[in-house]
Structure 1
Amino acid sequence: MIPDFEVTILGNTSSIPVHGRHHTAQVVRFGQDFLLLDCGEAMQLQARAFKVKVSKINHIFISHLHGDHYYGLIGLLSSYSLAKRTTPLTIFGPRGLDEIITTNFRYSNTKLPYPLKFTETHDTGFNLLLEADRYAVYSFPLNHRLPTTGFLIREKHGLRSMVKEKLLETSLPFEAIQSLRAGENYRDESGNLFKVKDYTYPLPPLRTYAYCSDTVFTPDLKKYVENADLLYHESTFMEDNLERAKTTFHSTARQAAELAKISKVKKLLLGHFSSRYTELNPLLEEAKSVFPNSILSEEGHTYAL
């Protein structure tokens, strides 16, 4: 059975929440696992509005310490406390995030009823952060005004499905079935070889989601996001504000599309829109002129991989 793999956008604006748009936050669901990528203001209100089950989130990933990407975090952690959460929670984020949170809770005399673990991220290299049975989460460096990481969520192969007709033809021992489902050929005591390709169905293609929060246009990101099924990339500005994008270490919609094109991703999801844009279709048109399979992120919308 192929697990569901989907992304729900809770917020897609940049520094100021305007035009009905909210600060960055999105929930990735893989099967029964829920991951939170960034946690801007109003994350909880947005989650309630769109019926996203925040209680199921056990891992939170913060890309960097600009407020529009994490100011909703302390409120979320406090709500978990008020709800008497006992399930452990792990936060992955840059150096200093643990100090910000623990200082706040110390002075507010907040004592959490659940275990809270911090794992520091680093804005160098490609690093494994979390490994589950069917997926893994990696960080990679973005190029912003302070240490910032992107996140890559990559599906892993599960057990193969057996061809029932072949099982009826051959009486296989349990050990053989285990081996074949794990993708390994099996040889019995008589020397008979049972091949994976003969007894199991081909595995489906693995799916990958790449998340680039805030970054100046960096073609080298190709090596991290190449061939992703879905790439979320900030598109704060349009090309007529290219110099502003460079100065603030952000990207234009066209630049996001250029990265998608050279990286040969399947689909580009635009986000982190500047407050100067009331209407977003011009950003989409700019991106589609370079990479036709570009779409605007919409708050409350879920994108399946």
Structure 2
Amino acid sequence: MKLTILGCYAATPRTFTNPTSQILEIKNRLFLIDCGEGTQVQLRKNKIRFSKINHIFISHLHGDHFFGLVGLVSTFTLLNRTTDLHIYGPKGIKEIIKLQLRLSNSGTNYGLFFHELESAESEVIFEDEKVLVKTIPLKHRIYTNGFLFQEKIGERKLNLDAVQNYEIDTCYYQKIKNGKDITLEDGRVIENEKLTFDPVPAKNYAFCSDTAYNESILPIIENIDVLYHESTFLQSEENLAKKTLHSTAKEAAMIALKSNAKQLILGHYSTRYESITFFKEEAETIFPEVLLADDGKCFEF
């Protein structure tokens, strides 16, 4: 599982900082999460192939999280894309993008599909044989979702020594990897656990931005491997965080602690602070495993 931060700062793009956008690579799937201004430039800087992006998830309709979307949609057309593109976001996103394309006399030469969200409850919005994605309802000034990405447990691994010891034909290998017991020619049943090793544990990732401190998300992200949680402010600006329905670094750490997260990544920093290291220092007073997102930074788990 690999996370590439394209942008992780709040409000407006600056010379050296970009608004929210990130790429999650999981089970050989590439998902774009949010699409602030400058996203396609950041994709190029980080050498991420545009053609591998087939699913885009937009948390909410504040500009610093989706103003780069119509530009990316248009660029896909210029690149002669033919593969379908699926966009998941709040109700209204289809109207916004379609209006921009229509009034600019633009279109797409590929299938463009919108999956509009309006449920206040967590729901599955994408699923294939390897990955499942569900929403995490967040608490912000407008309708907002985070996203939980879950690997599905893979097939079991063959214990070749055991398989060969029982002289099992290779035609049964896939059945064994699928978890089935094997009956030998003499009638003996060999339990699957004797022929295989456990699969690689499935990983999961939760994206939570933008949101006020919100314990109602804890059951959804319980025991999460990696939690990205916004930390727009430090605790010294707690009142401002409450007013704007954002979180402090301390509050993000409390969510990580209470959800029993293995790793916390902070992001969505206000640019009022001289250094983002202040966020890590504050969060570590509550939760020990803290990493700082920054533009262009990659995390592999």
Q: TM-score, normalised by structure 1?
A: 0.94
AA of the residue aligned to 2:73: L
2:68 counterpart residue number: 72
Worse-matched range after superposition: 16-25 or 187-196: 187-196
- SS of 1:46's equivalent in the other structure is helix
Contact 1:214 1:250 (8 Å CA) reproduced = yes
Quote the offset at 1:260 in angstroms.
0.3
Quote the offset at 1:54 in angstroms.
2.3
Deviations 1:219-271 (A, max 9, x none): 12111111111100000001111111011110000000000001111110000
Contact 2:19 2:36 (8 Å CA) reproduced = yes
AA of the residue aligned to 1:251: S
2:197 counterpart residue number: 201
Mapping of residues 173-192 of structure 1, within 5 Å: 173=169, 176-187=172-183, 191-192=187-188
State the alpha-carbon separation in 2 of the partners of residues 196 and 254 from structure 1.
47
Q: Does 1:217 align with 2:207?
A: no
2:294 counterpart residue number: 298
1:252 counterpart residue number: 248
The gaps in structure 2 that reach 5 residues or longer are none
Contact 1:18 1:275 (8 Å CA) reproduced = no
Quote the offset at 1:101 in angstroms.
0.6
2:105 counterpart residue number: 109
Contact 1:123 1:149 (8 Å CA) reproduced = no
| Residue number among 223, 226, 232 corresponding to 2:222 in the alignment | 226
State the alpha-carbon separation in 2 of the partners of residues 62 and 133 from structure 1.
23
1:279 counterpart residue number: 275
The gaps in structure 1 that reach 5 residues or longer are none
Quote the offset at 1:123 in angstroms.
4.2
Quote the offset at 1:160 in angstroms.
1.5
The number of residue pairs the alignment matches comes to 301
AA of the residue aligned to 2:106: T
% same residue: 39
State the alpha-carbon separation in 2 of the partners of residues 162 and 290 from structure 1.
42
2:124 counterpart residue number: 128
Worse-matched range after superposition: 152-161 or 34-43: 152-161
State the alpha-carbon separation in 2 of the partners of residues 241 and 42 from structure 1.
28
Deviations 1:119-165 (A, max 9, x none): 11234222111112222111120011111111011111222221111
Quote the offset at 1:190 in angstroms.
6.2
Contact 1:87 1:115 (8 Å CA) reproduced = yes
AA of the residue aligned to 1:125: E
Worse-matched range after superposition: 117-126 or 101-110: 117-126
State the alpha-carbon separation in 2 of the partners of residues 158 and 27 from structure 1.
22
- SS of 2:115's equivalent in the other structure is strand
- SS of 1:243's equivalent in the other structure is helix
Contact 1:123 1:142 (8 Å CA) reproduced = no
Q: TM-score, normalised by structure 2?
A: 0.95
Quote the offset at 1:166 in angstroms.
1.6
Quote the offset at 1:178 in angstroms.
3.0
Worse-matched range after superposition: 215-224 or 17-26: 17-26
2:36 counterpart residue number: 40
State the alpha-carbon separation in 1 of the partners of residues 126 and 184 from structure 2.
37
AA of the residue aligned to 2:157: S
Quote the offset at 1:286 in angstroms.
0.5
State the alpha-carbon separation in 2 of the partners of residues 187 and 150 from structure 1.
47
2:262 counterpart residue number: 266
1:7 counterpart residue number: 3
Q: Does 1:160 align with 2:159?
A: no
2:18 counterpart residue number: 22
> Hey, which bits of structure 1, 4+ residues long, moved more than 6 A?
none
Contact 2:159 2:196 (8 Å CA) reproduced = yes
Contact 2:27 2:151 (8 Å CA) reproduced = no
Worse-matched range after superposition: 42-51 or 10-19: 10-19
AA of the residue aligned to 1:244: L
- SS of 1:102's equivalent in the other structure is helix
Give the RMSD, CA atoms, in angstroms: 1.6
Quote the offset at 1:212 in angstroms.
0.2
Contact 2:235 2:248 (8 Å CA) reproduced = yes
